[in-house]
Structure 1
Amino acid sequence: MADDDKYSVLLPTYNERENLPVIIWLLVKYFNESGYKYEIIVIDDGSPDKTLEVAKQLQKIYGSDKIVLRPREKKLGLGTAYIHGIKHATGNFVIIMDADLSHHPKFIPEFIKKQKEGDLDLVSGTRYIGSGGVAGWDFKRKLIRYRHNVAEEFINQNIIKMGAPNVTGSFRLYKKDVLQKLVNSCISKGYVFQMEMIIRARQFGFTIGEVPITFVDRVYGESKLGGSEIVQFFKGLMYLFATT
């Protein structure tokens, strides 16, 4: 790979004012230590907790070349946040991750190393291989994870037969053009969107690598996965099964 590779991190946010300073500090730390060129694109969807104001302060600290703010007026969904972010990404690689500290930036150099070893189209973080796992989950999160496990097994057996990947994972590295094609081809929204991205990637024949990660439950703020989100997840899953 060329030495001038650049990595654009897409950070969709909604009510993450406590977590944003920490996740950005960690991202800057690990990118600076590894020497890779980067930018962090914050896509805030009109957070009422004034996440955007915090992001503006962080931009003053780290510079507008490193912290790029591309806010929207209201919450419009994960898939559209990626579409919005890609339009402003100047890197030839794009990293998508959560802003709630559940995805630790320390794994990003491992993602990059894995991608470079095989010139892979995308690399996904997974809790299911090697040293991967979870930490700090309460009963609610474990119940949600169980339901997701059932959904993933259903997809593996009936749709893509991938051999148990982390299809619901949202910590991934993509070649920018690959991500653009996948986003353009997806019809799902919300949490099912991540599943469809992997399904489409398999259909297109893109090469996929996996890196073990530890998923940590959020420290600040409330989970976005309420009862209505779980219902929408399974409705979306059934629609995805019917259309792929």
Structure 2
Amino acid sequence: MNQESTVPGELDAPAAPAAVPAPATASVPEPGAVTIVVPTFNESANVRQLLRLITESVPARLPCEVLFVDDSTDDTPDVVREAARDCPFPVTVLHREEAAGGLGGAVVEGIRAASSDWVVVMDGDCQHPPSLVPELVATGERAQAELVVASRYIEGGSRAGLAGGYRVAVSRGATWLTKSLFPRRLHGVSDPMSGFFAVRRSAVTADVLKPLGYKILLELAVRNRPRTVGEVPFVFQDRFAGESKSTAKEGLRFLRHLAGLRMESSPARMIAFGLIGLTGFVPNLLALWALTGAGLHYLPAEIVANQFGVAWNFLLIETLLFRERRRHRHWTDRTARFALLANADLLLRLPLIALLAGRFGMAVLPATALALVTTFVLRFAATEALVYLPRKTRTAETRTAETRTAETGAAGRRPEEGRTEEGRTARSTA
């Protein structure tokens, strides 16, 4: 990862202009700075316009710095450096060699690198009006909120900049879906798909975030669970230049991300595990029909057919349920463990039915149903614990690495801990 910092003016110039009293509608009780994080991917045609709009509306009302976290394959970093020379505030370019997590991952990197109490996240295509930045921060200060969302769906807001009925329908559908899946965690957030929001840096635990794609607000709201949320209406503007990054591929990433977030709780994973198990009857029965039709006795045919159901369940569980945990074990290890547990379930179920019916006098049907439920719960718990949870030694190593990373990051982020603007420039250039 390369980071380059461009500070306007001479080296002895102040890092940011003094705050000027803001209008009553956007007054901030406690003067403070804001870091504007702009994730970019090939937005060179929009950079100058965006910095011009920020210059016109933010520094006179609130001290600021701008941090571009860039995943571009074009000349966006060079354009940022050139345009920053005319800005009355610090402008930093953090170029990532690997776009881990997409634009959402870029935002997390920006939050980690921010030096201000407030972080405002906005897109680099000029569809989010920078003039609203002071109002977002002021609303957060007045309400003592940890998160303030610029919303298109409250009074005074508009989605006018969405091009065409298709994008409007997709946006509305995604909003309805996310709020339906997370009614409590998104309570008070009318626009969870917004990419324009302010968050207190102290309220974000970056290590728990697992961004995938560009819907980072959803990730923040669900995983960090801010105690107080505020909203400010905004009008979604037309893109200044370039093309939208909203593609069908990004839509699939969003759905995958949404499924991953929803599957975080054990009850949700257990329900999904059961539904996937039910679908396994289809390949099982098809294989049984084919094998017995070929003349194989039904007992060995069922043993073989069961493996088709096991393989089907394993593929779905790997893809839909435990995708993020696959890295903890090699695929051959996971496959062998899963197959062993699935077949052990079959071997355990028959003796359990015999015990319930013979020893406790239960009828065959309820005994079978109770055995199915019991072995299902045991198989789910065993699959999660023995196949997809990390090994203890690996967990310890990961925690140690995370602790070192957190200590290193904390040592270099806060200006009050001795990082001057000149010091930041030297460190970044190095």
Normalised to the residue count of structure 2, the TM-score between the two structures is: 0.51
Distance 2:110 2:207 in 1: 13
Distance 1:92 1:153 in 2: 29
Which of 56, 59, 68 matches 1:42? Answer: 68
Distance 2:133 2:37 in 1: 13
> 98-107 vs 76-85, which deviates more?
76-85
Distance 1:111 1:193 in 2: 17
Match of residue 216 from structure 2: 193
AA matched with 1:230: G
Distance 2:238 2:209 in 1: 28
Which fold has the larger relative contact order, with Cα–Cα distance below 8 Å and residues 6 or more apart in sequence? 1
1:59–1:232 distance in 2 versus 1, CA, 3 Å = same
1:208–1:201 distance in 2 versus 1, CA, 3 Å = farther
Which of 236, 240, 246 matches 1:215? Answer: 236
Distance 2:104 2:81 in 1: 24
Distance 1:164 1:175 in 2: 16
Q: Report the Cα offset of residue 62 of structure 1.
A: 1.9
Runs of 4+ more than 3 Å apart? none
Q: Give the conservation status (yes or no) of the 8 Å contact 2:175–2:192.
A: no
Structure 2: runs of 5 or more not aligned: 1-28, 266-430
Match of residue 30 from structure 1: 57
1:145 corresponds to 2:171: yes
Q: How does 1:172-187 map to 2 (within 5 A)?
A: 172-179=197-204, 181=205, 183-187=206-210
Match of residue 34 from structure 2: 7
Aligned sequence identity (%): 26
Distance 1:149 1:227 in 2: 17
Distance 2:211 2:86 in 1: 37
Distance 1:208 1:164 in 2: 7
Match of residue 169 from structure 1: 194
Q: Give the conservation status (yes or no) of the 8 Å contact 1:21–1:58.
A: yes
Structure 1: runs of 5 or more not aligned: none
1:40–1:201 distance in 2 versus 1, CA, 3 Å = same
Query: CA offsets per residue over residues 46-104 of structure 1, 9 Å max, x none?
Result: x23311111010122226x5211211224332233123223332211111111111111
DSSP 3-state at the match of 2:156: coil
Q: Report the Cα offset of residue 219 of structure 1.
A: 2.8
AA matched with 2:168: K
Q: Report the Cα offset of residue 17 of structure 1.
A: 0.9
> 146-155 vs 19-28, which deviates more?
146-155
Q: Report the Cα offset of residue 119 of structure 1.
A: 1.9
1:161–1:224 distance in 2 versus 1, CA, 3 Å = closer
AA matched with 2:132: F
1:126 corresponds to 2:147: no
Q: Give the conservation status (yes or no) of the 8 Å contact 1:44–1:72.
A: yes
Q: Give the conservation status (yes or no) of the 8 Å contact 1:95–1:174.
A: yes
AA matched with 1:2: E
Q: How does 1:26-105 map to 2 (within 5 A)?
A: 26-34=53-61, 36-45=62-71, 47-62=72-87, 66-76=90-100, 77-105=102-130
AA matched with 1:66: P
Larger relative helix fraction: 2
Structure with max Cα Rg: 2
AA matched with 1:222: E
Q: Report the Cα offset of residue 161 of structure 1.
A: 5.9
Distance 1:163 1:40 in 2: 28
Query: CA offsets per residue over residues 176-208 of structure 1, 9 Å max, x none?
Result: 1113x1x32222411343212112343xx5211
Q: Give the conservation status (yes or no) of the 8 Å contact 2:146–2:229.
A: yes
DSSP 3-state at the match of 1:85: helix
DSSP 3-state at the match of 2:236: strand
Q: Give the conservation status (yes or no) of the 8 Å contact 1:168–1:191.
A: no
